[in-house]
């Protein structure tokens, strides 16, 4: 399936750590529709369900999507690190629905359960925060999200400075969701 350009003029980036088989990237060419659909079919992702492939492709490429990846082939000893979809496995996602300048809605954040609790989620959020920083997006007005998990709520407050601004009862998924919002460029 052909890749569509990202929704922002900010060029894609890849974040690596020495001696780690994991990396994070918002390069759209690395995204795996199959891996994300498989994750959406699992129980831990309580809000999701798989989509037809072309719909999932549109969802991922119509947003600024940050993937968490595991290298399945060794990194080159020297020379630049240029991962491809063939040499990686996608194990996490954070998707920012954004105009690339003023607004972002953060959605579908996950790390597969077998890789949770090792700092990958925090790293993923720090990469998102870096892209949606004052320096990169001086006109950014608001970032929003919805979540149902108290632990995750604390996690977003700490990393993004998110505040709870409202609630939504969702008996269909057995959750009381909270709306959270951050205004990173608001005057102190």
Ligand X SMILES: CC(C)(COP(=O)(O)OP(=O)(O)OC[C@H]1O[C@@H](n2cnc3c(N)ncnc32)[C@H](O)[C@@H]1OP(=O)(O)O)[C@@H](O)C(=O)NCCC(=O)NCCS
Task: List residues binding ligand X (CB under 6 A).
Answer: 44, 109-111, 116-122, 147, 149, 151-152, 154-155
Alpha helices (H) along 33-182: 33-40, 53-61, 120-131, 150-160
Q: 92-101: b or e for each residue (b if 16 or more CB lie within 10 Å)?
A: bbbbbbbebe
Q: DSSP class of residue 113?
A: G
CB 91 → ligand X: shortest distance, Å? 10
Nearer to ligand X, 120 or 131 (CB): 120
Nearer to ligand X, 149 or 168 (CB): 149
Q: For 22, phi and psi rounded to 5 degrees?
A: -100, 150
Q: How far is the CB of 64 from ligand X (least distance, A)?
A: 17
Q: Minimum distance between the CB of residue 109 and ligand X, rounded to whole angstroms?
A: 4
Considering the complex, state which of residue 13 and residue 122 has its C-beta at the smaller distance from ligand X. 122
């Amino acid at each position: 399936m052909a890749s569509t350009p990202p929704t922002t003029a900010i060029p894609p980036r890849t974040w690596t750590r020495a001696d780690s088989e994991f990396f994070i990237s918002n390069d759209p060419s690395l995204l795996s529709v199959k891996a994300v659909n498989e994750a959406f079919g699992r129980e831990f992702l309580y809000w999701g369900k798989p989509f037809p492939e072309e719909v999932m492709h549109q969802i991922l490429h119509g947003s600024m999507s940050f993937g968490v990846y595991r290298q399945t082939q060794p990194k080159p000893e020297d020379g630049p690190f240029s991962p491809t979809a063939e040499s990686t496995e996608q194990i996490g996602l954070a998707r920012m629905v954004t105009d690339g300048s003023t607004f972002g809605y953060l959605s579908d954040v996950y790390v597969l359960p077998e890789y949770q609790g090792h700092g990958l989620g925090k790293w993923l959020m720090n990469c998102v925060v870096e892209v949606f920083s004052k320096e990169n997006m001086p006109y950014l007005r608001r970032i929003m999200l919805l979540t149902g998990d108290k632990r995750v709520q604390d996690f977003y407050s700490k990393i993004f400075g998110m505040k709870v601004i409202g609630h939504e009862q969702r008996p269909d998924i057995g959750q009381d969701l909270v709306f959270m919002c951050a205004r990173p460029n608001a005057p102190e």
